[in-house]
Amino acid sequence: MTGRGTARDLLRVARDAFGFEALRPGQEEAMRAVLAGRDVLTVMPTGAGKSAVYQVPAMLLDGPVVVVSPLIALQRDQVDGLLEDVGGAVMLNSTLSAQAWRQARADLRGGRARFVFLAPEQLGREDVAAELAAAGPRLLVVDEAHCVSSWGHDFRPQYLRLGAARARLGNPPVIALTATASPQVRAEIVEHLRMDDPLVLVEGFDRPEIDLRVVRCTDAGTQRQGVLDAVAAQDGAVLVYVATRADAEEFAGLIPGADHYHAGRRRADRDDVQRRFLDGDLRVVVATSAFGMGIDKPDVRAVVHAAVPDSPDSYYQEVGRAGRDGSPAVATLFYRPEDLGLRTFFSAAVAKEEPLRRTAAAVRAHDGPVDPADLRRKLDVSATRLAGSVNLLAEVGALTEDDRGRLVVPDDAPAPARAAQAGVEVSQRQRTVERSRLEMVRSFCETTACRRQFLLGYFGETLADPCGNCDTCRAGTAQARSGGEEPFAVGSAVEHPEWGAGQVMHYEDDRVTVLFEQAGYRTLALDLVREQELLRDVGTGER
């Protein structure tokens, strides 16, 4: 599956086909790995050229490149850009007319489609997967790859099927791309996409042009007025993130010229809001987390959080939509501790044993592989509910997929009752990790240390000195730490007697934060770590 090409060839294609003057840090290393046929996981900030990692080497490969992208609008932007630059790009999605579908598939069969963009739901269709497999794809690209992870901020269950879909396509090399992924998310991406000894390339998460601020509020009225004042203080485009659909509609009604975006609006209305915002006809969008993925608007001057997000992952993904042109931008979070309770209420519930047992038993009782659609009708459950059960059962080895996407029971699968119990245990661990991430949001809001150092530490990156561009730095409370006080290096693998294996993420004053595989994020007092020998160094983690 390897292609022919040297660093000089890559630079020539980058210049001739895409107009690049030079390759950015990390791009060439990733591109050469792609040409060598390796799986690649690339974590790069938005605007750092992630798409070029596959687009440039694709021009040196014979055969189509399949690109899984979660949003039709994002697919359309990519296709339009490629048609202008190199031609040979098509989409396969639910908005196409029958004639457009026929033309796209004809282009694929005729070798005229070098790039094929589609959503994971389309790749799950047997007819589409079969046609793509017949074309012999040279690469499978997974954009917004954090959606693969159940710990990810934009988790989509359909992404969990991509590992099986890769097998149906003939196991081409996988290129996974994302702008934000903590170590735990990166590990899940590698696992679920069945990546084999991948190159994991993590470029810096830092966005130094964004001024990070947290405003602590004593009551809802003060919080609401603070949001309105923060929006009014900005002349450019502003994104306001809220916790609920009702909040989105309320704030949009209070902000002159604003509109709201959430999953409850008609698709046509959502598309209209997005189009007007990107075109500059709409200055302020008030949205739930449903808005933003794939939005590449360079001149957003401010991101305002009217309430706490559900995790630092979500927060950093959302504030990262500001200042993409490299000019100064402001990110302000209005924090009320009571809002954490609302986020906890909305967090995922622990799965129930009975639906898991019924699902496992139904597949086991079926004479041969069962199509998920047939199983859903038999169990009389929604597609979302069935997907949740199937994902947990697959996690514990009770179910798997064949090469046509049908569900089967492995020979060594546990009995339905035991599988259900194991699935509940996995669900409990997932909720534990989810809530630990919410506690990290609390810590971020309440820290007096440099906020940027805190955030980068969460993602496993070290910033030696306070940034100077956050509210705590300006207040004079952020101070550089001495590395000599750290008993374990950031990134090192450790073990706790109760919480098991973990990775050291961040130091702050007299505390250390560790990401445990089973228990999520935990912050420990360094004095207790030393006195009670709570952590044992077991090697070096991913760096």
Phi, psi of 373 (to 5 degrees): -65, -40
For residue 464, give both structure tokens. Answer: 């030696």
The answer to whether 131 touches 104, Cβ cutoff 8 Å, is: no
Phi, psi of 48 (to 5 degrees): -90, 0
Rounded to whole angstroms, the Cα distance separating 241 from 311 reads 13
Where do we find the tokens 């955030």? 455
Close Cβ partners of 338 (under 8 Å, ≥ 6 residues apart): none
Residues 240 and 149 in one domain: no
Task: Answer whether residue 541 is part of any domain.
Answer: yes
Question: Where residue 447 sits, what CATH number does that domain have?
Answer: 1.10.10.10
Output the pLDDT for position 353: 93
Close Cβ partners of 317 (under 8 Å, ≥ 6 residues apart): 146, 153, 154, 179, 180, 292, 293
The answer to whether 42 touches 171, Cβ cutoff 8 Å, is: no
| DSSP H/E element including 185 | helix 183-192
Residues 148 and 16 in one domain: yes
Residues 433 and 356 in one domain: yes
The answer to whether 308 touches 346, Cβ cutoff 8 Å, is: no
For residue 128, give both structure tokens. Answer: 């589409």
Task: Answer whether residue 53 is part of any domain.
Answer: yes
Question: Where residue 262 sits, what CATH number does that domain have?
Answer: 3.40.50.300
Cα maximum dimension of the chain: 71
Torsion on CA atoms 452, 304, 69, 407, rounded to nearest 10: 90
Three-state DSSP state, 256: coil
Output the pLDDT for position 227: 97
Residues 151 and 76 in one domain: yes
**Tens digit of pLDDT at every position of the chain (543 positions):** 444 556 678 888 888 877 787 787 788 889 999 999 999 999 887 666 788 888 889 888 888 899 998 766 666 767 776 765 566 888 887 777 888 888 888 888 888 888 888 888 788 777 888 888 888 899 999 988 888 876 544 556 677 778 888 988 999 999 999 877 778 788 889 988 999 999 998 877 788 999 999 999 999 999 999 999 999 999 899 999 999 899 999 999 999 999 999 988 988 898 899 889 989 999 999 998 867 665 678 899 999 999 999 889 889 889 988 998 889 999 999 999 988 887 776 666 788 999 999 999 999 998 888 888 889 899 998 877 888 888 889 889 998 877 677 888 998 999 999 999 999 998 888 888 888 888 889 989 999 889 999 988 888 788 888 999 999 999 998 876 544 467 888 778 889 998 888 888 878 778 888 888 888 888 888 888 888 888 988 864 443
Task: Answer whether residue 198 is part of any domain.
Answer: yes
The answer to whether 78 touches 52, Cβ cutoff 8 Å, is: no
Task: Answer whether residue 1 is part of any domain.
Answer: no
Residues 128 and 155 in one domain: yes
For residue 363, give both structure tokens. Answer: 């597949």
- Classify the phi-psi angles of 499: left when phi > 0, otherwise alpha if psi is within -120 to 50, otherwise beta: alpha
Output the pLDDT for position 112: 83
* Residue that finishes a domain, picked among 450, 473, 496: 473
Task: Answer whether residue 246 is part of any domain.
Answer: yes
Q: Structurally, how many domains does the chain consist of?
A: 4
How far apart, in Å, do the first and last CA atoms of the chain sit? Answer: 28
Output the pLDDT for position 482: 47
Q: What is the 3-state secondary structure (H, E, C) of 434-493?
A: HHHHHHHHHHHHHCCCCHHHHHHHHCCCCCCCCCCCEHHHHHCCCCCCCHHHCCCCCCEE
Residues 391 and 527 in one domain: no
Residues 418 and 468 in one domain: yes
Residues 254 and 325 in one domain: yes
* Residue that finishes a domain, picked among 202, 234, 261: 202
Tally the C-alpha atoms within 13 A of residue 480's C-alpha that lie toward its C-beta.
10
Three-state DSSP state, 118: strand
Rounded to whole angstroms, the Cα distance separating 16 from 55 reads 13
Task: Answer whether residue 384 is part of any domain.
Answer: yes
Rounded to whole angstroms, the Cα distance separating 435 from 431 reads 6
| DSSP H/E element including 53 | helix 52-58
Rounded to whole angstroms, the Cα distance separating 303 from 300 reads 8
Residues 538 and 490 in one domain: yes
Residues 132 and 227 in one domain: no
Output the pLDDT for position 51: 85
* Residue that finishes a domain, picked among 346, 376, 391: 346
Close Cβ partners of 300 (under 8 Å, ≥ 6 residues apart): 236, 237, 238, 239, 321, 322, 323, 324, 329
Domain that residue 415 falls in: 351-473
Rounded to whole angstroms, the Cα distance separating 426 from 433 reads 11
CB 480: neighbour CB atoms within 10 A?
Answer: 12
Output the pLDDT for position 414: 94
Task: Answer whether residue 251 is part of any domain.
Answer: yes
Three-state DSSP state, 16: helix
- Classify the phi-psi angles of 494: left when phi > 0, otherwise alpha if psi is within -120 to 50, otherwise beta: beta
Output the pLDDT for position 157: 64
Task: Answer whether residue 233 is part of any domain.
Answer: yes
Residues 150 and 176 in one domain: yes
Residues 22 and 169 in one domain: yes
Three-state DSSP state, 372: helix
CA angle 262, 427, 499 (to 5 degrees): 120
